[in-house]
Amino acid sequence: MAEIVIRNLRKEFGAFTAVKGSSFTIRDGEFFMLLGPSGCGKTTTLRMIAGLELPTSGEILIDGEDVSQKPASQRDIAMVFQMFALYPHMNVRKNIAYPLVSQGVPKAEVQKKVAEVARILRIDHMLDKPVGGLSGGDRQRVALGRAIVRNPKAFMMDEPLGALDAEFREIMAEELRALHDRMHATTVYVTHDQLEAMQMGDKIVVMNHGVVEQFGTPQDIYDHPATLFVADFIGSPSMNFLQFEGTAAPGATTVTLGETLIALPRLEEPATGKLVLGVRPEHLALSDAAPYRGRIEATEYLGTTQIVTLATPHGPAKARTPAGLPAKVGDTVGLTLDARTLTLFDATTGRAIRTAANAGVPHG
């Protein structure tokens, strides 16, 4: 069990900077997600924590001790990869026992630990089976068992579910999270799948081009994105961006979109020039009376809800509405925006303007 503190961590590969000065803290027992598109530096960050890469500069503290220049073997961290490699000639029991046997742990203790891990993972009935005949999920469980059995300070997982199909992935995600809830081991998990990050994580770091864009709980990041990148990356469909030009002073509680006054949380800093009003699909409602108008371009039935695609004077937008609500392609409808949930961005810097709603949320 361990707390991991990352301070000004930087990694250069020749002229290319993969990670540009990240800082965040992973609390003891947290399920911590490193999220971002490919090439954002998330895997490099994970590998530096594990000791598979040495940072160019910065500190990695595990339980207060700087390990940034120590080899992986001295960090007591277990790594779980997307492509789980098992020893094909050994049965499940021997695969799980291997890390202990190679450390010279006494046989009786090995047996005890393997049995315990198998029980936690609910694979105790297959300990004597060869790994060759196992399903993908069971193989992944065995790979996890091999990581858990060492009882390391922390687990590093690099897209461990990436190779699985959608349905099975969801089952394994739930299983992994339930396992974490039983063991409470500090876990750092890399993914590019925002839903996976939201679903499993206690905290999320969103990275882009080697920079930490935002760090916080899933709901805070969703509700109060710090940048346009985060707003777009998190959520499906993602946040709608209504582009406009305007000026608003601190204390303002409205902006003017075309000819319509739109209420939003009270601004705490000025906003001027090219601006973007961000509204989540579920906060955009169709209402006949509303003065702000859009044309329905498409509707998509999703069972409980439907997604309505609209053309507005300030760009395309999607609304998530109850499935029963009538919405006909081609119709022009009024749109209301839920004032408390709106985020205003500076289009040039991509940064969210500070308001009464997002003021308390830590930024990247």
Partner 1 sequence: MAEVTLSGLTKAYGTTLALHDVTLTIPDGAFVVLLGPTGAGKTTTLRLIAGLDAPTKGDIRIGGASVINDTPAQRDVAMVFQQYSLYPHLTVRDNLAFPLRSPIIAMPEPQIAKRVQDVADVLRIPHKLDNKATALSGGEMQRVSIGRALVRNPRIYLMDEPLSSLDAKLRADLRIELKRIHHDLKATFLYVTHDQIEAMTMATHVGVLDRGKLVQFGTPRQIYEEPVSTYVASRLGQPHINLLPADAFGPSPAGAAQIGLRPEHIFQGEGQPATVRRVEHLGDQTRLHLALGPHQIITLSDAHTPLRPGDTLPIRPQNPLWFDASGNRL
- Which residue ranges make up the site for partner 1 (CB under 8 A)? 165-167, 177, 181, 195, 198-199, 217-219, 222-223, 234-238, 280-282, 297-298, 300-304, 307, 309, 320
Which residue, 102 or 219, is less far from partner 1 as judged by CB?
A: 219
Q: Hey, which residues does 14 pair with through a beta bridge?
A: none
Nearer to partner 1, 236 or 272 (CB): 236
Alpha carbon distance 225, 222 (integer Å): 6
- Of 131, 164, 133, 132, whose CA–CA distance to 146 is shortest? 131
Closest contact distance (angstroms) between CB of 169 and partner 1 is 12
If you count DSSP H runs as helices and E runs as strands, how many of each does the chain have, helices first? 8, 20
DSSP per-residue string spanning 157-179: EESTTTTS-HHHHHHHHHHHHHH
Beta carbon of residue 237, minimum distance to partner 1 (angstroms, whole number): 6
Q: Which is nearer to partner 1, 99 or 278 (CB)?
A: 278
Q: How far is the CB of 219 from partner 1 (least distance, A)?
A: 4
For 42-67, letters b (16+ CB in 10 Å) and e give: bbbbbbbbbbbbebeebebbbeeeeb
Q: Is 101 or 323 the residue whose CB approaches partner 1 more closely?
A: 323
What does R_g of the chain's alpha carbons equal in angstroms?
Answer: 24
Q: Is the peptide bond before 106 cis (omega within 30 degrees of 0)?
A: no
Tell the smallest beta-carbon distance from residue 136 to partner 1 (Å): 12
- Select 4 or 310, whichever has its Cβ closest to partner 1: 310
Q: What's the min distance (Å) between Cβ of 132 and partner 1? A: 20
Structure tokens at 13: 């590969």
